């Protein structure tokens, strides 16, 4: 329904004192139940413009990696999907490994170090922008290795200078949990690396076929949002102060009332 905001003068001959009330299209003041519904609606509108996070975890950065020889790009960004509040590098590789031709996967050779080599990895970097914060929940990937490819893997991040492995990374893929405090409320760049080693041949391959970073992004409202919130707060304060001074439905308010405004808001009740 349409709700009109009325401003009525309480006493035409006395001090210029006004009261504000909410009325329907017939000019009848809203009763307690309808006023409650209106307050609830206004509160929901205010909540909608406050800084909020996406409530459910979803993909914030992903790529199914399709096409011929994606390895020719380092990093590879074609086809990736990214949250609008993030910037990302795409999937890249360290200087210790070399790209290898393949279809629908990002492939490399040179994984034949006997132990973890600081230069042998696939890499991703995610950076929140515009004051946004990132809360991660997981990293999911599928992969494959050739018969002479690497047999040992470790997924690490720059949060601890790549010193500790997370989850259990394998050649065929894994779901790595990222719910720890180091991955919540992120406001600056964070790099992720998937290391591999112990290949029986330098020509052995390892590929990432697809990947997804899951989580949520909280955005800071624009200045105009704060202005709208301030205006709504001022209106609520005005209503409260006027209602304290003179009840809207009192005899004095019911007489000699003149309309000072015909503005209205459309509010579903």
Whole-number Å distance between alpha carbons of 92 and 194 = 10
3-state secondary structure of 182: helix
Minimum mean pLDDT among 143-157, 200-214, 249-263: which range? 249-263
Average pLDDT for residues 169-187, to the nearest whole number?
Answer: 98
For the segment 79-138, what is each residue's pLDDT rounded down to a tens digit? 999 999 999 999 999 999 999 999 999 999 999 999 999 999 999 999 999 999 999 999
Q: Are 176 and 169 within 8 A, CB to CB?
A: yes
3-state secondary structure of 158: helix
Segments in the chain forming alpha helices (H): 32-49, 223-245, 251-254
What are residue 127's DSSP bridge partners? 87
Ranges for all domains in the chain classified under CATH 2.60.120: 58-218
For the segment 26-48, what is each residue's pLDDT rounded down to a tens digit? 666 656 766 666 566 666 555 55
DSSP 18: E
Q: Pick the most confident of 2-6, 75-79, 227-231.
A: 75-79
Burial (CB count <10 Å: 0-12, 13-18, 19+), residue 252: middle
Give me the pLDDT at residue 82, please: 98
Ordered strands of the 18-23 beta sheet: 18-23, 2-9, 264-266
Q: How is 71-124 classified by DSSP, letter by letter?
A: GGSSSB-TT-EE-TTEEE--BEE-TTSEE---BSSEEEE----SS--TT-EEEE
CATH level 2 (architecture), domain 58-218:
Sandwich (2.60)
- Orientation angle between helical segments 223-245 and 32-49, nearest 10 degrees: 160
Rounded to whole angstroms, what are the CA distances from 88 to 81, 91, 92, 125?
10, 9, 11, 6
Burial (CB count <10 Å: 0-12, 13-18, 19+), residue 240: exposed
What are residue 200's DSSP bridge partners? none
Instruction: Say if residue 140's pLDDT is above 50.
Output: yes
DSSP 38: H
Q: Are 269 and 34 within 8 A, CB to CB?
A: yes
Give me the pLDDT at residue 74, please: 98
End-to-end CA distance of the chain: 6
For the segment 185-231, what is each residue's pLDDT rounded down to a tens digit? 999 999 999 999 999 999 999 999 999 999 999 986 555 554 555 55
């Amino acid at each position: 329904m349409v709700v009109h905001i009325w401003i009525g003068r309480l006493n035409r001959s006395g001090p210029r004192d006004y009261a504000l009330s909410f009325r329907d299209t017939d000019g009848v003041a809203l009763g307690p139940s309808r006023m409650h519904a209106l307050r609830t609606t206004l509160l929901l509108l205010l909540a909608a413009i406050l800084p909020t996070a996406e409530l459910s975890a979803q993909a914030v950065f992903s790529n199914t990696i399709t096409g011929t020889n994606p390895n020719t790009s380092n990093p590879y960004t074609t086809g990736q999907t990214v949250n609008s509040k993030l910037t990302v590098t795409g999937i890249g590789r360290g200087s210790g490994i070399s790209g290898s031709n393949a279809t629908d996967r990002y492939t490399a050779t040179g994984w034949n170090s006997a132990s973890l080599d600081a230069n042998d990895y696939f890499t991703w970097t995610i950076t929140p922008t515009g004051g946004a914060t990132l809360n991660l929940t997981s990293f999911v990937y599928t992969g494959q290795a050739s018969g002479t490819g690497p047999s040992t893997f470790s997924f690490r991040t720059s949060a601890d200078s790549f010193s500790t492995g997370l989850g259990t990374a394998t050649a065929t893929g894994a779901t790595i949990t990222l719910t720890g405090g180091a991955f919540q409320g992120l406001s600056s760049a964070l790099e992720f690396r998937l290391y591999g080693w112990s290949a029986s041949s330098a020509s052995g391959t390892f590929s990432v076929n697809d990947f997804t970073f899951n989580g949520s992004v909280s955005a800071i409202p624009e200045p105009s949002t704060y202005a709208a919130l301030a205006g709504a707060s001022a209106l609520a304060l005005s209503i409260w102060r006027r209602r304290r001074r003179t009840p809207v439905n009192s005899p004095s308010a019911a007489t000699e009332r003149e309309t000072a405004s015909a503005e209205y808001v459309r509010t579903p009740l």
